[in-house]
Chains A and B, each alone.
Chain A
Amino acid sequence: MSIDLSQFHAVFFEESFEGLELMEAALLDLDVGNPDSEQINAIFRAAHSIKGGSGTFGFVQVAEFTHILETLLDKVRDGEQAIDADGIELFLQSVDCLRGLLEALQSKQDPDMQRANELAGVFQAVLDGASYADSANLVKANSITGQLLAPEITESAADNVADDAATDDGISEEPSYGTSRQQVGFNIYFKPHVDMLKGGNDPVRMLRELATLGEIKTTVDSAELPLLEALVPDNCYLSWTIELLTSCKIDDVEEVFEWVEDECQLSITPILQDASALVSNQPQDQQNNPQASPSAALGQRLVMPSGPLPGLDDLLLPSPMVDSSTETVTDPVKDSVKAPVKDPVKTKATKVESSSIRVGIDKVDSLINLVGELVITQSMLGQMGSARDSITEEHIGNLREGLVQLEQNTRELQDSVMRIRMLPISFTFNRLPRMVRDISIQLGKKVQLEVSGESTELDKTVMEKISDPMVHLIRNALDHGIEMPAQRIAAGKPEMGTIVLKAFHQGGSIVIEMSDDGGGIDTERLLAKARKNGLVAESEQLTQEQKLELLFTPGLSTVEQVSDLSGRGVGMDVVRRNIQELNGSVEVSSEMGVGSAFRIRLPLTLAILDGQLVTVADQTYIFPLVSISESLQIDGAKVNNLAGGSDVYSLRDEYIPILRLDRLFSLREENGVLDGSLLVVVESEGQKIGVVVDELLAQQQVVIKSLEENYTRVVGVSGATILGDGTVAMIVDPIGLSSLAGNDIAAAKQMTDAAA
């Protein structure tokens, strides 16, 4: 019976995240000395629409927080409040915080309001006349460095921290807390009007709905119930008093009665635990009046004094704690020390992938045009087919013409449909300036990020999967690449380090280049490490490229480099694997003292692949073109047999293992002669392998279809496609092939062992 507002939630979240991005970008661009009013307006507008939207959808926490942000921004806009670097930092943090709140709400979790309350307190302090720096110090002290509070902290702000800590302490076991921390439920008096039932509203349903919110105790007042002969069956004579024990917000309760508001007497009063004289304010007041002076807000929140208030020093000194109650207080602080860049809310929330994309109207229009043309062509062909008179030369000519047109329509339509999934890479790039800024500040380095080619378009799925590896590469560059300012000056470089990010199309793929002018990769140290780990034999001599390749070797953990930024999470081997899973490749070049560059090459889309068609045992297989480094005819003299039966081919200065597709795929019994047959050399995880095939056919684009949908994953095959003649062909997965061959080799080894 209630309109499902949640259908609009997706749009709200999408727009809000867009708004946040806008805010972030504008804040980063903002020139502190001479703020551009247009930019401030843009920030203000974004905050304003988030506030409006969240209010509409009942996300009170967000609305409240944005309101105070907006108030401050309004003052900045009117020139009443100045803005400085600390202020920008503060606003950026609030953007993070809002994002965290929205993400939590999006994944239907209760947002963690701790950070928001902290920031709101700080903003309030600023509004009350404190400077950004003072308030920002507080935030920094609280979340980043864990230092002692600077003595000049304004009292109200300091109180706020204590307040937050205290409430946090008190309810640390409680999973949800929003504005209504102190309340444990509601007393609801519900008296429907006599004719409410006639409107199709059923009180029982509301009671049931209430019961889903928590524990309910209902008492019904049937005093008005008339005698049976006077009773009108569709009149409602009952009224209820309900005690609802719940952690829900008042909004949730109000929502239950949303549609009968005008048809009943309703009063909802919160039940407060340990209600003290301080807490006479109802939560509604708090909502309507989020700007209440800090001391009032303090009063509202300070209702659960479960123990003595821990002193400020205890809270903020990272000294060992004995008292368990203070321990819980310091935990969030510790956490934020570890991961200052990420909002704690973010790490907790299970990430919801947005499943919709925004498509430019021009793309849709072009699609509609194309479909129109297709329909015309179809009707033209249809007319020809139904022509009664005998088929003449002319008919055939027309038919051919029609077919050519159809082919062209189809191709254009395919292109257009593919383009719908394409988004400009700025979706990924936009996140990076902020990251670079935060990390460089944290590390005490000066770094600027230069981005070009943001409008280069890329398939959405590819984009989602490339974002993590890119973040990793940038972090690496910041942490290990760019040197400290002093070092840079000593090396005769500008103090400001530069990371250049470039994206462009090249052939059928997109290339993303990331280069820095830092210290470069110390290949000797890499090599030493690899030797120590036994990955490279002492006697082995490596070329510069081979040494750089070591960077991608799994297990080569450069432990002494572990830091907050890049010692954790994915390693370079994972970066490479992620990229290879997308049928892409990554190359690295580096020069000591000058810098390093990574070059990622990706297919434009995952749905279509440039393939090399080959035949083996009368079956057609497809190799991804990107994985093929060359194809050659085997010269029998260069084939060597290793113990255990596997063959290697000497290709220029290296030996590559020869794999036989027919054997790996169990296609036929006999083994053909290697001499003279064709070898496709593919690259898989940095290693070259040669695959023997019977015949090389054409190169063509193929549409990738999933095998898993109706069958299951097959090792050595990444998918299937349908060829022009309607048959199905398997797409070979070089990485899977080598693992298949690995088994083969292992088996062969065992056999030789057993024989010996």
Chain B
Amino acid sequence: MSIAEQEDAKDVAKQTAALVDHSTTHDFEDQRQYLTFLMQDEEYGVDILNVQEIRGWGNVSPIPNAPDYVSGVINLRGAIVPVIDLRVLFQLADANYDENTVVIVLKVSTERVNRIMGVVVDAVSDVFTLSSNDRQSPPSVNQSVSHEFIEGLTEVKGKMVILLDSERLLHLESNV
């Protein structure tokens, strides 16, 4: 056996490994669970794996000179967590606070950082499972701010649900 043959064998092994990898991740990707919430009677969804917890609205301290969609920071068991009001960010008409107003605490972990952020929404709605086939890409005509955070659209029980990209939401202050 020469070194070339060894290389060949290695390649084959690699390919098989790649095949196996692919099939397994494929399975996971197919089925994803989403948590949906309401804002101005529209239903939005985020990947439930990014949701750390859901809290009532309250006790938010403002951050000096922050953009208007940043409501402030809350104390989440000792961690300082910023809260953004999605309704302000998406320029929805009125953003009032009532007993249904909740903060969904989202957590995104990348290789470098873990980020936690709360988003204020009108009310939490539902949890459903979705396969990737059910998802449509958003229409590309819309040029609003909110558009860049939309991952796709889907239909659940005859109603449209807007799926949001948590990662982009959580890194948005770096674009500010």
Residues of A within 8 A of B (CB): 204, 207, 218-220, 222, 238, 619, 664-667, 705-707, 709-712, 714-717, 720, 722, 726-730, 740
Shortest CB–CB separation between residue B17 and chain A, in angstroms?
15
Please tell me if B81 contacts chain A, counting CB pairs below 8 Å.
yes
The 6 A-B pairs of least Cβ separation, nearest first, read: A665-B64, A711-B82, A728-B61, A218-B3, A705-B80, A722-B75
A715 touches B61 (CB 8 A): no
A204 and B63 contact, CB distance less than 8 A:
no
The reply to whether the CB of B59 lies closer than 8 angstroms to some CB of chain A is yes
Q: Is the CB of B6 within 8 A of A665?
A: no
A710-B81, A710-B115 given as contacts; is B59 within 8 A of A727 (CB)? yes
Write out the residue numbers on chain B whose beta carbons fall within 8 Å of the beta carbon of A666. 64-65
22 A-B pairs whose Cβ atoms sit less than 8 Å apart in the complex: A218-B3, A219-B3, A619-B61, A619-B62, A664-B64, A665-B65, A707-B63, A710-B117, A711-B63, A711-B80, A711-B82, A714-B63, A714-B66, A715-B65, A716-B64, A717-B63, A720-B73, A722-B75, A726-B59, A727-B61, A728-B72, A728-B75
Query: Does B74 lie within 8 Å of A728, measured CB to CB?
Result: yes
Per the bound structure, the CA–CA distance linking A81 and B168 in Å amounts to 71
Query: Closest CB of chain B to A658's CB: distance in Å?
Result: 18
Q: Are B2 and A220 in contact (CB under 8 A)?
A: yes
User: Which of A716, A720, A727 contacts B65 (CB under 8 A)?
Assistant: A716
Chain A contacts of B115 at CB under 8 A? Answer: 710
A-B pairs under 8 A by CB, number: 77
Residues of A within 8 A of B3 (CB): 218-220
Instruction: Flag whether B174 is at the interface (Cβ < 8 A).
Output: yes
Tell me the minimal C-beta distance from B11 to chain A in angstroms.
13
> How far in angstroms is the closest Cβ of chain A from B110?
13
Taken together as a complex, chains A and B put the C-alpha atoms of A729 and B73 apart, in Å, by: 9
Q: Are A667 and B1 in contact (CB under 8 A)?
A: no
Known contacts being A220-B1, A728-B74, A730-B64, is A710 close to B59, with CB within 8 Å? Answer: no
Cross-interface CB contact of A727 among B6, B75, B81, B82, cutoff 8 Å = B75
State whether the Cβ of B155 lies closer than 8 Å to any Cβ in chain A: no
Q: Mark B66-87, 1 if CB is under 8 A from A, else 0.
A: 1000001111001111100000
In the bound complex, CA of A728 to CA of B59 (Å):
8
Cβ distance A724 to chain B, nearest Cβ, rounded Å = 11
B117 — which chain A residues lie within 8 A by C-beta?
Answer: 710
Identity of the chain A residue whose Cβ is nearest the Cβ of B176 in the assembled complex:
A712
Q: Would you call B80 and A707 a contact (CB within 8 A)?
A: yes
> Of A705, A730, A740, which contacts B79 at CB under 8 A?
A705
* Complex-state Cα separation, A726 to B63, whole angstroms: 16
The verdict on B148 contacting chain A, using a C-beta distance below 8 Å, is no
Q: How far is the CA of A725 from the CA of B65 in the complex (A)?
A: 24
List 19 other contacts, CB 8 Å, given A664-B65, A729-B61, A730-B64. A204-B6, A220-B3, A238-B1, A666-B64, A667-B62, A705-B79, A706-B80, A707-B73, A710-B79, A710-B80, A710-B116, A712-B174, A714-B64, A715-B64, A717-B63, A726-B59, A727-B75, A728-B75, A728-B80
CA distance A238 to B78 in the complex (A): 62
Nearest B residue to A720, CB-CB:
B80
Interface flag for B53 (CB, 8 Å): no
Check A728/B73 contact, CB under 8 A, given A710-B80, A710-B81, A711-B63: yes
| Cα A219 to Cα B75 with chains together (Å) | 65
Query: Do A710 and B65 touch across chains, with their CB atoms under 8 A apart?
Result: no
Q: What separation, in Å, do the CA atoms of A712 and B2 have in the docked complex?
A: 57
Docked-complex contact B63 and A730, CB < 8 angstroms: yes
Give every chain A residue within 8 A of B74 (Cβ-Cβ): 728
| Chain B, residue nearest A218 (CB) | B3
Query: How many angstroms between the C-alpha atoms of A716 and B3 in the bound complex?
Result: 64
Q: Is B173 an interface residue (CB 8 A)?
A: yes
Q: Which residue of A lies closest to B174 (CB)?
A: A712
Q: How far is the CA of A664 from the CA of B65 in the complex (A)?
A: 8
B78 / chain A contacts, CB cutoff of 8 Å: 705, 722
Cα–Cα, bound, A220→B78 (Å) = 62
Q: Whole-angstrom distance between the alpha carbons of A217 and B156 in the complex? A: 61
Binary contact track B35-68/A, C-beta < 8 Å → 1, others 0: 0000000000000000000000001011111100
State in angstroms the CA–CA spacing of A665 and B80 once bound together: 19
| Chain B neighbourhood of A711, CB < 8 A | 63, 73, 80, 82, 173
A710 — which chain B residues lie within 8 A by C-beta? 79-82, 115-117
The answer for the CA separation of A726 and B76 in the assembled complex, in Å, is 9
Q: Note all chain B residues with C-beta closer than 8 A to A706.
A: 80
Complex Cα distance A555/B73, Å? 39
Q: How far is the CA of A730 from the CA of B75 in the complex (A)?
A: 12
CA distance A727 to B3 in the complex (A): 66
Kindly identify, within residues 147 to 176 of chain B, every residue whose CB is under 8 Å from any CB belonging to chain A: 173-174, 176
**A730: which B residues are within 8 A, CB to CB?**
61, 63-64
**Chain B contacts for A720, CB-based, 8 A:** 61, 73, 80
CA distance A667 to B65 in the complex (A): 8
- A710-B82, A711-B63 known; A222+B75 contact, CB < 8 A: no
Min CB gap B140→A, angstroms? 30
Name the distance in Å between A386's Cβ and chain B's nearest Cβ. 24
A204: chain B residues at CB < 8 Å are 6
Nearest chain A CB to B174 CB, angstrom units: 7
CA distance A712 to B116 in the complex (A): 12
Looking at A207, A219, A667, A712, the one whose CB has the most chain B CB atoms below 10 A away is A712
| Residues of chain B contacted by A667 (CB below 8 angstroms) | 62, 64
Contact B75 A726, beta carbon cutoff 8 Å: yes
The answer on a CB contact under 8 Å between B2 and A709 is: no
Query: With A and B bound together, what is the CA distance between A664 and B63 in angstroms?
Result: 12
Complex Cα spacing A194 to B2, Å: 19
A709 with B79: CB separation less than 8 A: yes
A600 vs B59: C-alpha distance when bound (angstroms): 39
Q: How far is the CB of A407 from chain B (nearest CB, A)?
A: 18
Cα A665 to Cα B79 with chains together (Å): 23
B72 neighbours in A (Cβ, 8 Å): 728
Contacts of B2 in A (CB 8 A): 220
Q: Which residues of B contact A728 (CB under 8 A)?
A: 59, 61, 72-75, 80
Contacts of B6 in A (CB 8 A): 204, 207
Bound together, the chains give a CA A207 to CA B62 distance in angstroms of 60
Q: Which of B1-44 contact A (CB under 8 A)?
A: 1-3, 6
Nearest B residue (CB) for A706: B80
C-alpha gap A220/B6 in the complex (Å) = 11
Question: In the complex the two chains form, what is the Cα distance from A579 to B126 in whole Å?
Answer: 53
Complex: chain B residue closest to A665, CB-CB = B64
Cα distance A665–B66 in the bound complex, in angstroms: 9
CB-CB under 8 A from A709, the residues of chain B are 79-80
Could you tell me the distance between the alpha carbons of A222 and B6 in the complex, rounded to whole angstroms?
13
Residues on A with C-beta less than 8 A from B79 are 705, 709-710
Q: Are B80 and A714 closer than 8 Å at their CB atoms?
A: no
Given A222-B1, A728-B75, A717–B80 Cβ distance below 8 Å? no
> Which residues of chain B come closer than 8 Å to A716, judged between CB atoms?
64-65
Name the residue on B nearest A666 (C-beta). B65
- Whole-angstrom CA separation of A716 from B176 in the bound complex: 18
The residue on A at minimum CB distance from B66 is: A714
- A707 / chain B contacts, CB cutoff of 8 Å: 63, 73, 80
Complex interface bits, B103-134 against A, C-beta within 8 A gives 1, otherwise 0 = 00000000000011100000000000000000
